[in-house]
Amino acid sequence: MMIQTADSERLEQLMRAAREACRNAYAPYSNYPVGAAALFASGKIYAGCNVENASFGLTICAERNAIFQGAACGERRLLAVAIAVPASNHASPCGACRQVMREFAADCRIILLNDSDPPLESSLRDLLPDSFGPEFLQGK
Residues of the shown chain interacting with ligand THU in the complex, contacts defined by CB under 6 A: 27, 30, 32, 34, 50, 52, 59, 61-63, 83, 91, 93-94, 97
Catalytic-labelled residue, pool 20, 63, 75, 135 = 63
- Counted residue by residue, the chain has a size of 140
Q: Minimum distance from CB of 85 to ligand THU (Å)?
A: 8
**CB closer to ligand THU out of 7 and 103:** 103
Q: How far apart are the first and last CA of the chain?
A: 31
Q: Which is nearer to ligand THU, 71 or 127 (CB)?
A: 127
Task: Give the nearer residue to ligand THU in terms of CB position, either 70 or 93.
Answer: 93
CB hemisphere CA count around 110 (13 angstroms): 21
Least distance from ligand THU to the Cβ atom of residue 135, Å: 25
Cα angle 68, 64, 83 (rounded to 5 degrees) comes to 120
How far is residue 34 CA from its own chain's centroid? 10
- Give me the least distance between CB of 54 and ligand THU, in Å please: 13
DSSP E strand stretches across the chain:
35-40, 45-49, 78-84, 109-113, 120-123
Query: Any catalytic annotation for residue 75?
Result: no
The residues annotated with a catalytic role in the active site are 63
